[in-house]
Amino acid sequence: MIRRTMHYTVRTIWAVMDSDIDNPSRLLTVRRVRDLALKIGRTMEPSPDLLVIEVAALMHDMADKKYVRIPEGMSLATYFTPVFEGLDLPEGSKAIDILGQERIELIGRVVENVSWTTEKRLRKEGLWGKWHSECEELHCVQDADRLDAIGAIGSSGFSSCVMTGS
């Protein structure tokens, strides 16, 4: 029930943001990253917070300026908290009640730090710290996103070769 509720929550947030989550390829990417991040998380001992992993994976592109315009200096958690507070779930509760503010903060931080570009910039500026190195939820989503990107690049390259006969 929680899994279906969180998927509904994230789809609703994407809709609020007027993004292309209903684009079939975008939705497939989000689902692949979620599935892989959860598989990675389930192999770890002690187990990281799988709910944080799932929601962060479903939202993993929301820090991308192509999808969301967040005011300068505002965290994703701050930006999305009112959405979670106002989101009525199918069973009558609110998303904020299921997640809690601490999880929302962690989800926001994971999403803000998941991209390779962000990691490279933070490392270059000497801002990649202990939290970045030790947050298991971040690493599950990062690894899943990067593995998916490698697969997506490989698929595109393959179909391009087939179509051109190269």
Range in 37-51, 82-96, 106-120, 131-145 the model is least confident about: 82-96
pTM: 0.80
Distance CA 35, CA 7 (A): 12
113-147 pLDDT tens trace: 999 999 999 999 999 999 999 999 999 999 999 99
Q: How confident is the model at residue 4 (pLDDT cuts 50, 70, 90)?
A: low
The domain locations on the chain are 2-164
Averaged pLDDT score across all residues of the chain: 80
